Amino acid sequence: MLTTQHPIHERLPIGLLLAMNSGFVDAYTFQYHESRFASLQTGNLIQAGFNLAHGRFGASMIFIWPILFFTIGAACNTILKKQWPEGRLSLQQHSILLEFIGITAIVAMHQYLSSTFFIAFLSFFLAIQLDSFPKLQGLPFTSVMSTGNLRSVGTNITNFFYTGDKQFLSNTFHFLWLVLAFLFGAFISGLLAQALGTYALFGASLIVLIVFGLLFKK
């Protein structure tokens, strides 16, 4: 159940928008950058290992760069949290503002970036998003992928049937909404791409900007 006991950055509308943003970005890179993803680093690890096994070192680097940038993004956000004191903006607002500026700049300069570094920079900023918003309603969740959230749907609905505890049922719907938000983000990305082409990624900037504004509502 949605309550005010949780900080604003852990509430459901924020989580839904973040999941929607990740689905939007990954659908975009899948369409315009050789079926690759910016947030799903497990796939990049598999591709890198597969290409290394076949001696294709150049091809493996296409997937290693996003992995490195994702790791660096999480590290940089940790530094931001430790070194940048909260003032008028919260730590989450600092991070989401940085993501907004980064995605907007990447779209504006996309003609000057190789496909590999375009995705790598997006991976950097999605890592910042993931690290800044680790919980929903006090529960661990992931905003840049759906595998863990799907697991949580299964475990919570099963626990509800075993115990009858309605909190598990509430948790089930929270995680189900997150999965659907990710799917909806991919859907919207595909629609906008038909109208705006490669500039459709500005839609992700808009989603992140909305999150930034909602974080002011205490």
For the residues 81-93, what does the mean pLDDT come to? 78
Tokens 């070192």, located at residue: 57
pLDDT of 3 over the 60 cut: no
Supply the pLDDT for residue 33.
86
Supply the pLDDT for residue 218.
58
Tell me the average pLDDT of the chain.
Answer: 90
Question: Quick one: which H or E segment has residue 135?
Answer: strand 135-136
Residue 38 sits at the vertex; the CA angle it makes with 34 and 40, to the nearest 5 degrees, is 105
Supply the pLDDT for residue 2.
42
**How many other C-beta atoms are found inside a 10 Å radius of the C-beta of residue 195?**
8
pTM (global) more than 0.85: yes
Supply the pLDDT for residue 1.
41
